[in-house]
Amino acid sequence: MTGHLRGINYYLIGIILFHNVFPVKPIMGMPVAPENLFYFLGMILVLYNFKHDPPRDRTIIRVIFLFAIFHLAVFLVFFMFIPRESYPLFKPFKNVLFFLLVLQVTEERDYISLLRFYLFLLSLEAVLSLLALYVGGVFQSIFNLFAVDPEADQTLFMKGRLAGFTGKIFLFAYPLSVMPILALTFYKVSRKNHYLFLFFLAVFALILNGERAALVFCMAIVVFLMTRWFKRNRKLVVLAMLTILAFSAFNQVLMKAEVRHAILRLRDSSSDEIQWRLAKQAAMVIVVLRHPIEGGQKNIEEYRGLFRSWSGFYPTQPHNAYINMGMYAGVFGWIILAIFIASMRRIKRRVDRMKTQRQPLSIFVEGNFWALMAVMSVSLFHNAGLFDGERSAVILLGLLFSVTNRKKRLNSGIIEKEMGNLSLGKPPIKSMPEIGPVGAGRGGRYL
């Protein structure tokens, strides 16, 4: 890819990231929605790249192919067995296009700056959500410019729970689980204190979001990375103590009316609720095994009846994105999931091999991978997931593709020049310049 096309590709990915976090609403009088225009330009770039330099990494191609095949299988199941319901293919097409677009990233600095830009966007969404909750007024008006359903958000604000621009608490929990991990990743390399601020901002927002699965999985990975990255380092102790103090402050000082609901939601973890959630998942697995071709969506009444015979009341969906793959595509959906897990294990081995190179890039890749694992872990207890097109999982997997692509290595040497003699086990030297300042030009360009 030439320099000009690489720049266009870079900025187009940045625009798509912005739109995924800050939804740009259709402009009156414009025949095409801005989102569709961005993806149309992306399709042109992808087709051009396919002609001149097609992707050759079999593992990555397999994962993208699995993603497309799953949605095609769901479409056929709906077409054959549930004709009264339609299944849109445009959203999965956009996700596949995003994967192919990110594969064209060929510079280390581009990869890192896109990862930082995504962290910045998530932080800005969390800040606007918090300001709309506590201050209101002009911040509420700014928030409503991007909110998909402002009325729904207002209702949730009254309960003290953050829902982000989507207006859905559960969907906002996914990107919030990413923020602390990415902030810790950038802090590990740069030692800049503003990343610590973003870390605690993310923890605060996670608590006010009130989703326990997101908080538990995210904090578990954060503790794991702290022990891995800060061995024999006082920073680990300081971070751990600050985290404990932050949790204590959020529970004691901020227990006022508008946040009480979120805090109590985190404390409410009765065994009965967990038991019935697992029972819903078991009921759907049984129904899918009884109907391996049709899946559970066509036989949703059988699922409800089976669960009601156990509990005495009707259930909602299983709250497990991976079981939902069987619900929508039958056993074939679970076969696709098994192949996907095997492919991800290969990508994980590539991430592990990068650690031996002792360069800062491997830290960013490791942080990217574990942020993706946090999002995918949350899917164990919620309905949205990677194969449903959950935005955080798609973005993180796409960025991971760009840096683990075997057949198209990122141009090396750039990070080493910018980072001096920094290695994984050593603190940065005092003369080390900041990695990719926001708004820098093309020479050290980062969004």
- 224-241 residue pLDDT tens: 888 888 776 666 666 666
152, 163 Cβ separation under 8 angstroms = yes
Helix axes 169-190, 391-404, angle to 10 degrees: 30
Looking at 149-153, 268-272, 379-383, 428-432, which range is the least confident one?
Answer: 428-432
Between CA 415 and CA 437 the distance in angstroms is 13
- Residue 419: pLDDT band by 50, 70, 90 thresholds? very low
Residue 315 domain-assigned (yes or no): no
Mean pLDDT score of the chain, rounded to an integer? 78
Residue 284 belongs to some domain of the structure:
no
DSSP helix/strand/coil, 261: helix
pLDDT at 239: 66
Q: Which of 218-227, 236-245, 298-307 has the lowest mean pLDDT?
A: 236-245
| Tally of domains within the chain | 1
Q: Is 257 helix (H, G, I), strand (E, B) or coil?
A: helix
Average pLDDT, integer, range 409-433: 41
Asked if the structure places residue 274 within a domain, the reply is no
| pLDDT given at position 268 | 55
The pTM for the full model equals 0.82
Calculate mean pLDDT across residues 154-183.
80
Question: What are the DSSP calls for 331-360, one per residue?
Answer: HHHHHHHHHHHHHHHHHHHHHHHHHTT--H
Q: What is the C-alpha to C-alpha distance for residues 428 and 419, in angstroms, rounded to an integer?
A: 8
User: What angle is formed at CA 406 by the lines to CA 403 and CA 409, rounded to 5 degrees?
Assistant: 60
H helices of 53-168, where?
58-81, 90-102, 108-134, 138-146, 150-158
Q: If residue 203 lies in a helix (H) or strand (E), which one and from where to where?
A: helix 193-209
**269, pLDDT greater than 70:** no
* Residue 29 placed within a domain: yes
Dump pLDDT digits (tens) for 330-380.
899 999 999 999 999 888 888 888 776 656 888 999 999 999 999 999 999
Rama region for 291: left / alpha / beta (φ>0; ψ in -120 to 50; rest):
beta
Percentage, residues of the chain above pLDDT 90: 20
Domain presence at residue 310:
no
pLDDT of residue 446: 34
Q: For 299-420, where are the E strands, in sequence order?
A: none
Does the pLDDT at position 258 exceed 60? Answer: no
Q: Please tell me the predicted confidence (pLDDT) of residue 178.
A: 94
Give the integer Cα–Cα distance in Å for 5 and 2. Answer: 5
Highest mean pLDDT among 26-40, 85-99, 258-272, 298-312: 298-312
Does residue 440 or residue 283 have the better pLDDT?
283
Give the range among 41-55, 380-394, 421-435 with minimum mean pLDDT: 421-435
In a domain, 103, yes or no: yes
pLDDT tens figures, 33-44: 777 888 888 888
Q: Is residue 297 part of a domain?
A: no
Give me the percent of the chain exceeding a pLDDT of 70: 75
Tokens read off for 223: 């503790």
CA–CA separation, 72 and 92 (whole Å): 9
In the prediction, which pLDDT does 168 show?
A: 82
Domain range enclosing 434: 3-269+321-444
Distance CA 17, CA 372 (A): 16
Asked whether residue 418 carries a pLDDT value surpassing 70, the answer given is no
Angle at 400 between CA 337 and CA 127, to 5 degrees: 105
* Structural domain includes residue 175: yes
